[in-house]
Each structure stands twice: as structure tokens, then as C-alpha cells.
């Protein structure tokens, strides 16, 4: 049975819909109701938290507070697969058309006729049945593929490549070609499966290299491949995988991750752990017991970053995190990052991010998703 949520500020409309006696005949039952969009979102969230998601929403278009169009915008971002039916009057037809452009399944005019409701529910049930079958098939295909991949997954190669990369050993690139050659022989030309295995292999290797260094993802993005196996030759697939592993090796050697006492690594870690303080080469030089001019030149030579540019990059990434957290005003973020002038901070942010802090905040959804959070770094107090 599919769960239905009815949303309408008119209690009489909700009552009339609930009185319809053939919900179960079409495979539905009314699991909840709400008086406006905000309450509807709350009901959806409660259902999701309890593991009892709604399948169909029947909602009025024009309601006080959050109307159907605003509600639909939120639903599409949070629950993209939900089936939604609009209720409207003839005067709301332009809103109904807008809803259809947004992906609403259908709309019905008030007062709702029983015959029209039967027709819509019949089509909605078939639509949900089709989606359910597609989901089951997709999950089954994924399960079979994962089982298949597990048989062929080169675990020993993964461990060897991680070990060599972690030590900055350039011979790991030669090993990559051996991996591809061995997989090609085993998979007998199934390059779709090859693409999945290589993708999993690269993800696990890069996670192993990036994982211990929370600051690394801020300055060095992991390379990815979006091309489909069907559109690439075996040679292109092999060269792409070699290129990505070479990229990881370059990062390891660039930041001297294989050396526990590396000045470059210590400098990067110091900047990240003191991002909300006034950071200078003089302070770092005291930490590493070397002259500040030497540290600056060494950092530039090894990483290609001017030290001050690197500090600004880290601070701007942390600014993104603070903005997305939604707990601070711009001037407070400016102060936390050690900038005496909010205007100066805003200019730096726009130069780095391509938009002002206000624009960035407007485009965020209030959930921290920056590199600090995604790399396992929870921000600073």
C-alpha cells in the first residue's frame, strides 16, 4: 500500500478527500495530513526519520505561509522521487501549469469529483508501480554487479599501490599498467565492468592517501573520470587510470607526505589547525626552527603556492564552511578569520569564490558541505 499525505488549509477539503472510500482499491491509504506547506515538510521529515516515507502527496496550490509552488521547490530538492498532485481552482490554472513544469504528476480542480479522483489515482498507482519495479531491478542489477566485481577486484594490487604511493615510489605507475593488463585478461574485454572496478580501485586508493591528511582535500582536488566506458577505447581507459594515479603520486611528492618531519607538511597542518588565528611565516618558522624566508622559499618551491596565497585559500574555504553552517554574520566570520575589515574579507572572498558571501549564503541550504566537513573536519569552535 502506498502512503498518502494530504495538504490543504481548508479542513473541509481534507475531510472530503478522506471520505473517499476506495483509496485501498487503488493501493493507497491516507497516512497523514497537513494544513500548509511547512507542516507538510515536517510530516515528510517525520516519516523519513521513522522509515515510513510518503509515496504520494495531494496538495493545494494556494495556501497561507508556504504555498504549493514553494512547497514543491523544497520537495524536489529533498525528495526528488515523490509523486505530487496539485489541487487548484480554475483561477489557479497558471499555477498548475507552473507546477507541471516543475515535475508535478498531475492536477485536479476543486471541488474534486469522484470520477476524476479515481482516474488520477489509477494512473498514479501505475506510475508508482513502474517506479518500484525500476528501483527493484536497479538494486538487483547493482547487487549482481557488486558481487561480480568482488570476484574480480584486485585487492592485493590495491594494497601494493597504496603502500608505494604512501612512500612516494614512482614505480607504482608501472604497477598500474600491470593491473590493467591482468584485469583485461580476466574480464575478457568487458570494459564496462573494467570501468567500475577501476573506479572503485581509484576511490579506495585516493581515500587511503587523502584520509590521514584532513587539509589535503582543501588544496588538491581528487581527479575523477566522468566518461562512460562505452565511449572510450581500452587504451584511453588505461591511460586515464595511469594519469590519475600519477596525479596522486605527484601530490604525495609535492607535499612530502612520506616524510614525517617534512617542513611542507608541517606548514600545511599548522595553517589548517590555526585557521582562525593570525598566521605568519614568522610563527611557523618558530615551530619548525628555521628562518622564515627559508620556509617561504621552500614552500613555494615544493607546492607552487606563495605562502600568503595558500593561507588565504585555506581561510576562504573555512569561510565557506562557516557561511554554510548558518551561525555567523559576515562581520563575525571576518573577525574569526583574523580580518579587521569585513569589506576586505568580502573582497577576498569574492575574488576566491567568484561571488560575495551574501550570494554564497543565498545559494546554500544551511547544511555545511564544504571540504572541511567532507574530509572529516568538523570546523573550529
Q: Which of 266, 282, 264, 374 has the alpha carbon at shortest distance from 321?
A: 374
Cell of 35: 494544513
- Which of 72-86, 136-150, 192-206, 344-358 shows the lowest mean pLDDT across its residues? 136-150
Position 226 pLDDT exceeds 60: no
- State the distance between the two ends of the chain, measured CA to CA, in whole angstroms: 47
> Is residue 232 classed exposed, middle or buried when 0-12, 13-18 and 19+ CB atoms within 10 A define those classes?
middle
Q: How far is CA 342 from the centre of its chain?
A: 30
| Contact residues for 69 (Cβ-Cβ < 8 A; gap 6+) | 61, 95, 98, 99, 102
Q: In the prediction, which pLDDT does 222 show?
A: 62
Q: In the prediction, which pLDDT does 94 show?
A: 64
Domain extents in the chain: 2-139, 153-254, 263-374
Handedness of CA 351, 356, 361, 363 (dihedral sign): negative
Position 145 pLDDT exceeds 70: no
- 117 band by pLDDT with thresholds 50, 70 and 90: very high
Position 144 pLDDT exceeds 90: no
Fold observed for domain 263-374? Arc Repressor Mutant, subunit A (1.10.10)
Three-state DSSP class for residue 212: coil
Angstrom distance (rounded) from CA 259 to CA 73: 50
> Is residue 275 classed exposed, middle or buried when 0-12, 13-18 and 19+ CB atoms within 10 A define those classes?
buried
pLDDT digits (tens, 9 = 90+) for 240-266: 889 999 989 988 888 788 777 788 888
Three-state DSSP class for residue 5: strand
Average pLDDT, the chain: 83
> Is residue 51 classed exposed, middle or buried when 0-12, 13-18 and 19+ CB atoms within 10 A define those classes?
exposed
Angstrom distance (rounded) from CA 45 to CA 54: 10
Q: Which residues pair with 123 in a beta bridge?
A: none
DSSP state of 168: T
Q: In the prediction, which pLDDT does 93 show?
A: 62
With beta carbons less than 8 A apart as the criterion, state whether 271 and 311 touch: yes
- Which secondary structure element, helix H or strand E, spans residue 120, and what is its range? helix 114-152
Q: Which CATH number fits domain 2-139: 3.40.50.2300, 3.40.720.10, 3.40.50.300, 3.40.30.10?
A: 3.40.50.2300
Average pLDDT over residues 63-73: 82
Q: In the prediction, which pLDDT does 148 show?
A: 60
DSSP string spanning 91-110?
GGHHHHHHHHHTT--EEEES
Position 118 pLDDT exceeds 90: yes
With beta carbons less than 8 A apart as the criterion, state whether 180 and 244 touch: no
Amino acid at each position: 500500500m502506498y502512503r498518502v499525505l494530504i495538504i490543504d488549509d481548508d479542513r473541509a477539503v481534507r475531510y472530503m478527500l478522506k471520505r473517499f472510500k476506495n483509496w485501498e482499491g487503488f493501493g493507497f491509504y491516507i497516512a497523514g495530513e497537513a494544513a500548509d506547506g511547512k507542516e507538510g515538510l515536517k510530516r515528510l521529515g517525520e516519516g523519513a526519520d521513522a522509515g515510513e516515507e510518503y509515496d504520494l502527496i495531494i496538495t493545494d496550490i494556494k495556501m497561507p505561509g508556504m504555498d504549493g509552488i514553494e512547497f514543491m521547490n523544497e520537495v524536489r530538492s529533498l525528495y526528488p522521487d515523490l509523486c505530487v498532485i496539485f489541487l487548484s481552482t480554475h483561477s489557479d490554472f497558471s499555477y498548475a501549469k507552473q507546477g507541471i513544469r516543475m515535475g508535478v504528476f498531475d492536477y485536479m480542480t476543486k471541488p474534486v469529483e469522484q470520477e476524476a479522483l479515481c482516474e488520477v489515482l489509477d494512473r498514479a498507482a501505475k506510475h508508482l508501480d513502474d517506479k518500484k519495479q525500476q528501483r527493484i531491478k536497479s538494486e538487483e542489477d547493482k547487487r549482481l554487479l557488486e558481487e561480480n566485481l568482488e570476484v574480480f577486484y584486485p585487492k592485493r594490487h590495491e594494497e601494493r599501490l597504496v603502500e608505494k604511493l604512501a612512500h612516494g615510489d614512482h614505480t607504482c605507475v608501472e604497477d598500474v599498467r600491470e593491473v590493467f593488463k591482468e584485469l583485461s585478461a580476466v574480464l575478457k574485454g568487458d570494459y564496462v565492468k573494467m570501468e567500475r572496478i577501476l573506479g572503485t580501485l581509484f576511490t579506495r586508493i585516493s581515500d587511503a592517501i587523502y584520509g590521514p591528511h584532513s587539509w589535503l582535500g582543501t588544496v588538491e582536488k581528487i581527479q575523477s573520470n566522468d566518461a562512460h566506458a562505452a565511449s572510450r577505447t581500452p587504451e584511453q581507459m588505461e591511460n586515464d587510470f595511469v594519469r590519475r594515479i600519477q596525479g596522486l603520486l605527484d601530490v604525495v611528492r609535492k607535499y612530502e607526505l612520506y616524510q614525517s618531519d617534512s617542513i611542507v607538511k608541517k606548514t600545511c597542518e599548522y595553517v589548517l589547525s590555526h585557521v582562525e588565528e593570525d598566521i605568519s611565516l614568522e610563527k611557523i618558522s618558530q615551530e619548525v626552527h628555521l628562518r622564515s624566508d627559508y620556509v617561504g622559499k621552500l614552500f613555494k618551491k615544493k607546492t607552487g603556492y606563495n605562502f600568503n596565497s595558500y593561507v588565504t585559500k585555506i581561510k576562504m574555504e573555512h569561510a565557506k564552511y562557516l557561511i554554510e553552517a548558518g551561525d555567523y554574520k559576515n562581520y563575525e566570520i571576518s573577525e574569526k578569520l583574523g580580518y579587521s575589515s569585513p569589506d576586505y574579507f568580502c573582497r577576498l572572498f569574492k575574488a576566491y569564490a567568484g561571488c560575495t558571501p551574501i550570494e554564497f549564503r543565498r545559494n546554500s541550504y544551511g547544511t555545511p558541505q564544504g571540504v572541511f566537513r567532507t574530509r572529516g573536519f568538523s570546523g573550529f569552535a
